[in-house]
Structure 1
Amino acid sequence: MKPVLTVDNLEKFYKNKGNITKAVNHISFEVQEGEYVGIMGASGSGKTTLLNCISTVDRVTAGHIYVNGKDVTDRKESALARFRREELGFIFQNFNLLDTLTGRDNIALALAILGEDPRKIDGMVESVSRELGIEKIIDKYPYEMSGGQQQRIACARAIITNPSLILADEPTGALDSKSAGMLLESLSLLNEEKNATILMVTHDAFTASHCKRILFLKDGQIFNELVRGTDSRKEFFDKIMKVVSLLGGEKSHAF
């Protein structure tokens, strides 16, 4: 395996009326190709700021972020926009679909922006739709879909460009338990069968139990790390809950 993501001594500070908040404080870790890694922590722990830095939405204060060995922390905005389009796939809590486009067109838009051959786009959309089991809904508009269906369309949009890294920010946060379970099964399938590399921020232990490794943040630093290994998902969930209780985290869905 090779490291898709390397975070090296990362710092992100905010200044407000003379006060400095260390949102991310000397964090280092790697995500290998084909890994499914979760980031957990209480509100204010720095997990969202960390994801924003990795996605280059926020500029880092110090340290470096490497994707496929290339430093992305010192690039100009035009180069960063291209990097996001070509290397990253995004799954947001609130779906971020365009209401005036069907599911098919929302997915296809990601390919059109990259300049993919228009003759190939429809076949690629059909293929990813079959993989995620959304063939019957891709010609609906977002307002005609449930939240879970919208999120699976968003998932298809994120993976259709074959990004190096999929970044998921609380992807189940706006879903009911059944829809969340279906989405998580889809992500696990992508990881196991397509070798997709996924980095997911979540506050929910049930969601995190689908990952293969968890990084726990506290006060902007890595507090603990768990590797699932040969554990069942229930066993991994129980271990996650023990760490969450030490962090003073929120309640979670249970098995």
Structure 2
Amino acid sequence: MNKILKVNNIEKYYRNKGSLTKAVDNISFDVELGEYIGIMGASGSGKTTLLNCISTIDSITSGNIYISDQDITKMDEYELSKFRREQLGFIFQDFNLLDTLSARDNIALSLAITGESPKEIDTKIDTISEKLGVKEILNKYPYELSGGQKQRIACARAIITNPSLILADEPTGALDSKSAKMLLENLELLNEELKATILMVTHDAFTASYCKRILFIKDGKIFNELVRGNDTRKEFFDKIIKVISLLGGDNQHVF
């Protein structure tokens, strides 16, 4: 299979008031094309720092990160900005939609920046909005949308540029249970039908049960790994809960 992401012996230190903290401690793993990976861990475990490093938001102290065979740790700010725009898709907990733009224009913005023609943009938006069930709300503004609708627009924005990797940071954190389930079904659709490669940080076992593989982070290191295989989501959920109990995590949603 084709490796989309290769994390090689990365470390991340933070210096604060004279003390040195190792947030990420010699982590290595690969993600193949079309995988749907979850990263879990208690608060302060290093999971968000790891995602920030992979997303180019933060820099690492040592090691290498390759995305589509390109070493992002060797890029300068201009190269990172271009790479981020062309190769990465983002889904955030707080949506990050622009209030002054319609849902359609929020989705179109990243395509317009890369210079695609209006006709190409309209065609791509029509296709993805149909798949995600948001076609009827494209002309509305973010303040007119529910949390679930905003997150589905964010999903459309993340996949519209056909990125190498979609990064999701607690995507269900601000949603009610019904909206969360709808979003997770949409992410599953992006993964299974559009072959999107997804890396998602979550603290929630129900959310994680939609993934195909989960890396558990503890004290900046990979503590355990679960592969769903032929398990049902309920069976996978039960296994996740068992690992979380060893990690000392919070109580999670139930089916």
TM-score of the superposed pair, with normalisation by structure 1: 0.99
Separation of aligned partners in 1, 2:95 and 2:19: 34
Aligned partner of residue 135 in structure 2, secondary structure:
coil
Show structure 2 runs of 5+ residues with no match. none
Q: State the AA in 2 paired with 1:36.
A: Y
Query: Counterpart in 2 of 1:86?
Result: 86
Separation of aligned partners in 2, 1:139 and 1:242: 45
Separation of aligned partners in 2, 1:41 and 1:123: 40
Separation of aligned partners in 1, 2:32 and 2:201: 17
Query: Counterpart in 2 of 1:163?
Result: 163
Query: Counterpart in 2 of 1:19?
Result: 19
Query: Counterpart in 2 of 1:201?
Result: 201
Deviation for aligned residue 1:239? 0.1
Query: Counterpart in 2 of 1:51?
Result: 51
Deviation for aligned residue 1:42? 0.1
Separation of aligned partners in 2, 1:89 and 1:135: 20
Query: Counterpart in 2 of 1:97?
Result: 97
Residue correspondence of structure 1 range 1-255 to structure 2 within 5 A: 1-255=1-255
Deviations 1:96-117 (A, max 9, x none): 0000111001001110011112
Deviation for aligned residue 1:119? 2.1
Q: State the AA in 2 paired with 1:92.
A: F
Deviations 1:121-151 (A, max 9, x none): 1121111100101111111100000000000
Separation of aligned partners in 2, 1:208 and 1:66: 24
Aligned partner of residue 250 in structure 2, secondary structure:
coil
Aligned partner of residue 27 in structure 2, secondary structure:
strand
Q: Percent identity?
A: 71
Deviation for aligned residue 1:198? 0.2
Deviation for aligned residue 1:233? 0.2
Separation of aligned partners in 2, 1:251 and 1:109: 39
Separation of aligned partners in 1, 2:22 and 2:103: 40
Aligned length: 255
Separation of aligned partners in 1, 2:102 and 2:74: 37
Separation of aligned partners in 1, 2:181 and 2:119: 34
Give the RMSD, CA atoms, in angstroms.
0.6
Deviation for aligned residue 1:190? 1.0
Deviations 1:177-197 (A, max 9, x none): 000000000000111111110
Deviations 1:40-77 (A, max 9, x none): 00000000000000011101100000011111102100
Separation of aligned partners in 1, 2:111 and 2:163: 11
